[in-house]
Structure 1
Amino acid sequence: MADLSTLGHRIRHFRTQAGLTLEELGEITGTAPSQLSMVENGHREPRLSLLEALATALDVTAADLLAAEPPSPRAALEIEMERAQASPAYKELGLPTLRPTRGMSDAVLKTIVGLHRELDRRARMAIATPEQARRANTQHRTRMRERNNHLPEIELIAEQATTSVGHTSGALTHRTVAEMAERVGLSIVHTDDLPHSARAVVDRENGRIYIPPASIPGGHGLRSLALQAVANKVLEHEAPVDYADFLRQRLEASYFAAACLMPRTASVEFLERAKRDRNIAIEDFRDSFGVTHEGAALRFTNLATHYLGITLHYLRVSGDGTVVGAYENDGLPLPQDATGSTEGEVVCRHLSARQAFARATRTSEHYQYTDTPAGTFFESTQTGSGATAEFSITLGVPYAESKWFRGRESQKREVSTCPDARCCRRPEDGLTERWKGQGWASPRVRTQLFAPLPQGTYPGVDDREMYEFLEAHSHD
């Protein structure tokens, strides 16, 4: 059945074809012309009795009136224009509704509809996961692999920042972080009304860093957030020009924060000592500097190859097996899509990153060896629970490097042949034939996957919320 707009156009088309005015058709059907006008404009659904009366008066069938296709190319353009102007994308522009009139030429109508099509195309590109962003992420990871995830220029800047406040080793205190911020003209303000799309906000005009209240045990994340804001000032970051620039700035800010929390000199000394003792353990590295397990694992990737000569891989994997973050320079085969992107792909179920979820006791690290087409790797995994789901943090190295690590005596061994689909994605022989068409499941869909990110200066952050927040706090 046609929608109301198409139905209205079809009634008007057959009325005009019959040479009848609204008043004449209304007299025949016993309906007020104003009511017929609303039906023709798609604003009212006719009763079945009226529809039959109209069909009889116009010498057509009810099926003719209810057909789904527009009655003419011109009508198709008018219908498309009406639908476009009813869309949220057009309404956001605050422009008046333009009605197609008899005096509007087909050329003008085609131009207007063409502009609406382009507006819709751009809106759809904005809400989709851009292929350009995935490619930028892949290129970004490739560049960091070429540099062994080590940025000496930021190491130097961070070292100068921590040395200026007398911090060289151990856990960096909140008070010292605040002093580091003050040295670059920023003060830390804790607030519980941050925009829902932002973890922290910097007010450059008034020299403030807004972060959540200090209620998190240990406050590991808060120190890092504040230091990333300091990095924004120290590294002279401006509004990113594209997604690739955003990724670069985010990496530099996170790297600066990590290098402040775990200073290079003290970290390298700690790791070299652990290597001499053949007792490298991320949990010891973590506890020595009072950071999170993930923070220690990522910092290890910055330093291990450059200073210890150890190649490695890092994975953060969610409980459902999807990759949230990844880095490797040791050749571990990572899952990839057509663009080369790894984030969002499902990692092999035989890797330590997923095997660790199966353990009954997760208080300690999970150690295992994994045989792959690229060789054997030793892996250490720690699981945890976030605000919405569980996750695992994995640090792995080639077999030859396992001699430096705690847990190398593990007898746990898995074999992965991924990306061969027979490894862990294709059902075992006979199962498909046995159950095809006989099974049904309700998927556990993560609704956030279908929710578009706010479009703003910084990907995922709503500009309006951020600017309203800054304005509201500017007079504090």
Structure 2
Amino acid sequence: MAPDTTPTQGESELDRLLLGKRLKFFRTRAGLTLEQLGERVGVVASQLSHIETGRREPRLGLLQSIARELGIDPSELLRREPPDHRSALEIELERAQSTPGYLRLGLPHVRTPRTLSDDALESLVGMHRELARRSRAAAATSEEARRANTAIRMQMRERDNYIHEIELVASDLMRRIGHTTGAVTHRTVAMLAEMLGFTLIFVDDLPSNTRSITDLENGRIYLPPASIPGGHGLRSLALQAMAHRVLGHAEPASYAEFLEQRLQINYFAAACLMPEARAVDFLQQAKRNRNLAIEDLRDAFGVTHEAAAHRFTNLATQHLDLRVHHYRADGEGALVRGYENDDLPFPSDASGSIEGEMLCHKWGGRTAFHRTNRTSEFYQYTDTPAGTYWSSVQTGDAEQGPFAIACGVAFDDAKWFRGRETPVRRVSTCPDEACCRTPSPDLLTRWQGKAWPSARMHQHVLSPLPTGTFPGVDDTAMYEFLSKHAPEA
């Protein structure tokens, strides 16, 4: 696995470091020592030193006093760019040394006093840049796909996983077909398709690399005759196919656009199956009763557990004032997909991508598989370097193997959820290698150098996607299928 070069420092810490560099720059330019400036603004020199090194954030009043004594506007201290080239290099080095990949090496943290020459600093930063470049180049999956997927995940985090425009479209359509209560039935979905000018047709010979095919010329949506095991139900598949027209999608011009469209159609389907107004009413009542549970949302709207968990993340921050995390992992502990706005420290690669990264053995998405009874939700508190988190986990089996669906919140918000009384608690110190990636001394002594496994090759590693208009879809197979099923002229 490529070394992880994603910074662990929070933005606030980096902001403090940048502020400190700017303060030091202007203080030095003014010809003042720490003691002299401290005497003028009424604080001890050590306090100013802590501010300059990013270890303390100054009060606004102190910041204004400092700016006045330095003869600058306070906004000069708060600007987002380093004051000079040396400061830029120092900040870049600090960021590079805070990544999980570097921390796992156990190497010393290099400070940047003035005695460290500019050439030496340039050399250190240059080596870190090259390591990061090589890490990105060594990504095990399609670099373009991972980069695009990461960008989309970050965009969704910025908007708290909530897309107001799609909520309005879905709500209007469900109102127009008269759906007001209860789970959305197959008949309801067929009515929506008819209103949009489509007929749903179920066939057993869809090309293997498609989930559905829409014949735009004849107004037909072809679907498999039964739900995909462990995957999307037919209602969701049909709604996703309709979403392309509803949302005005054109043929994707890039892989990033394809992934963006994929996210939007999934969101639309969920918003139809679990309409915002009714889902929010249901969840707000459960929160008032301190009885929030993903399984209740799932059962109330007749959807899969994963769909309910994902939909909960759409609505939780916007309507319940809860920051949450949600992820799916396979039976080996690899992340399939994930979302968080509660700062849960997902493992990630050099590009920030989380797909395919291994979860810590101590997280609920791994420990839930150790239970004898795996039919009900599993609850766990996990102490991490970023804080303590509570999560509920549901495990299951699909065609591709076992999987876990986790949804949770930071410790202080667990009070609103069923399962908060769980005594199960684990401590995770990942990305520290000693947490779960390094065998115990007894095992190392007994077996190191005496074992040679034959690793299982994951098929997707060497299997390129068929190239066509839509990534992963064989155009020839799709067009032959449409010709076979199209009505005669």
What's the TM-score, normalizing by structure 2?
0.69
Which residue of 1 is the match for residue 170 of structure 2?
A: 158
Which residue of 1 is the match for residue 318 of structure 2?
A: 306
Out of 124, 137, 142, which is 2:149 matched to? 137
**Unmatched runs of 5 consecutive residues or more in structure 2:** 1-136
Structure 2 distance, partners of 1:459, 1:245, is: 11
Deviation at 1:218, TM superposition (A): 12
Which residue of 2 is the match for residue 265 of structure 1?
A: 277
- Following TM superposition, the consecutive aligned residue runs of length 4 or more in structure 1 with deviations greater than 4 angstroms are 215-220
SS at match of 1:295: helix
The question of whether the paired residues in 1 share the 8 Å contact of 2:227 and 2:233 is answered with no
Taking a change above 3 Å as real, the CA distance of residues 218 and 344 of structure 1, as seen in their structure-2 partners, is closer
SS at match of 1:132: helix
Structure 2 distance, partners of 1:219, 1:324, is: 13
Number of equivalenced pairs: 350
Between 464-473 and 207-216, the greater mean CA deviation after superposition: 207-216
Out of 409, 413, 418, which is 1:401 matched to? 413
Out of 420, 438, 451, which is 2:463 matched to? 451
The question of whether the paired residues in 2 share the 8 Å contact of 1:383 and 1:391 is answered with yes
**Unmatched runs of 5 consecutive residues or more in structure 1:** 1-124
Q: Per-residue CA shift, 1:307-328, capped at 9, x if unaligned?
A: 0000010010000110011000
User: Does 2:264 match 1:252?
Assistant: yes
The question of whether the paired residues in 1 share the 8 Å contact of 2:230 and 2:399 is answered with no
User: Does 2:305 match 1:293?
Assistant: yes
1:321 is matched by which residue type in structure 2? G
Which residue of 2 is the match for residue 367 of structure 1?
A: 379
The question of whether the paired residues in 1 share the 8 Å contact of 2:329 and 2:405 is answered with yes
Structure 2 distance, partners of 1:182, 1:406, is: 41
Which residue of 2 is the match for residue 226 of structure 1?
A: 238
Out of 203, 211, 217, which is 2:215 matched to? 203
SS at match of 1:377: strand
What's the TM-score, normalizing by structure 1?
0.71
User: Does 2:399 match 1:387?
Assistant: yes
SS at match of 1:240: coil
The question of whether the paired residues in 2 share the 8 Å contact of 1:169 and 1:263 is answered with no
Which residue of 1 is the match for residue 343 of structure 2?
A: 331
Which residue of 1 is the match for residue 250 of structure 2?
A: 238
Taking a change above 3 Å as real, the CA distance of residues 218 and 325 of structure 1, as seen in their structure-2 partners, is closer
Which residue of 2 is the match for residue 186 of structure 1?
A: 198
Q: From the CA coordinates, give the structure whose radius of gyration is larger.
A: 1
SS at match of 2:209: coil
Structure 2 distance, partners of 1:343, 1:301, is: 18
The question of whether the paired residues in 1 share the 8 Å contact of 2:207 and 2:477 is answered with yes
Structure 2 distance, partners of 1:214, 1:135, is: 34
Which residue of 2 is the match for residue 148 of structure 1?
A: 160
Taking a change above 3 Å as real, the CA distance of residues 401 and 222 of structure 1, as seen in their structure-2 partners, is same
The question of whether the paired residues in 1 share the 8 Å contact of 2:227 and 2:234 is answered with no
Out of 447, 450, 465, which is 1:435 matched to? 447
Structure 2 distance, partners of 1:147, 1:365, is: 28
Deviation at 1:399, TM superposition (A): 0.4
Which residue of 2 is the match for residue 352 of structure 1?
A: 364
The question of whether the paired residues in 2 share the 8 Å contact of 1:220 and 1:291 is answered with no
Deviation at 1:169, TM superposition (A): 2.9
Identity of aligned residues (%): 58
Taking a change above 3 Å as real, the CA distance of residues 226 and 190 of structure 1, as seen in their structure-2 partners, is same
Deviation at 1:334, TM superposition (A): 0.5
Deviation at 1:247, TM superposition (A): 1.1
Deviation at 1:257, TM superposition (A): 0.3
The question of whether the paired residues in 2 share the 8 Å contact of 1:169 and 1:262 is answered with no
Structure 2 distance, partners of 1:381, 1:460, is: 31
1:253 is matched by which residue type in structure 2? I
Higher relative contact order (CA 8 A, sep 6+): 2
User: Does 2:448 match 1:426?
Assistant: no
Q: Per-residue CA shift, 1:429-471, capped at 9, x if unaligned?
A: 3533432220122223332332222112222111111111111
Taking a change above 3 Å as real, the CA distance of residues 217 and 240 of structure 1, as seen in their structure-2 partners, is closer
Structure 1 distance, partners of 2:385, 2:230, is: 41
The question of whether the paired residues in 2 share the 8 Å contact of 1:312 and 1:329 is answered with yes
Give the RMSD, CA atoms, in angstroms: 1.8
Taking a change above 3 Å as real, the CA distance of residues 243 and 219 of structure 1, as seen in their structure-2 partners, is closer
Taking a change above 3 Å as real, the CA distance of residues 421 and 215 of structure 1, as seen in their structure-2 partners, is closer
Deviation at 1:141, TM superposition (A): 0.4
Taking a change above 3 Å as real, the CA distance of residues 218 and 163 of structure 1, as seen in their structure-2 partners, is farther
Out of 420, 424, 427, which is 1:412 matched to? 424
Structure 1 distance, partners of 2:198, 2:459, is: 37
SS at match of 2:249: coil
SS at match of 2:406: strand
2:380 is matched by which residue type in structure 1? Q
The question of whether the paired residues in 2 share the 8 Å contact of 1:383 and 1:393 is answered with yes
Query: Which aligned pairs between 1:162-173 and structure 2 lie closer than 5 A?
Result: 162-173=174-185
SS at match of 1:423: helix
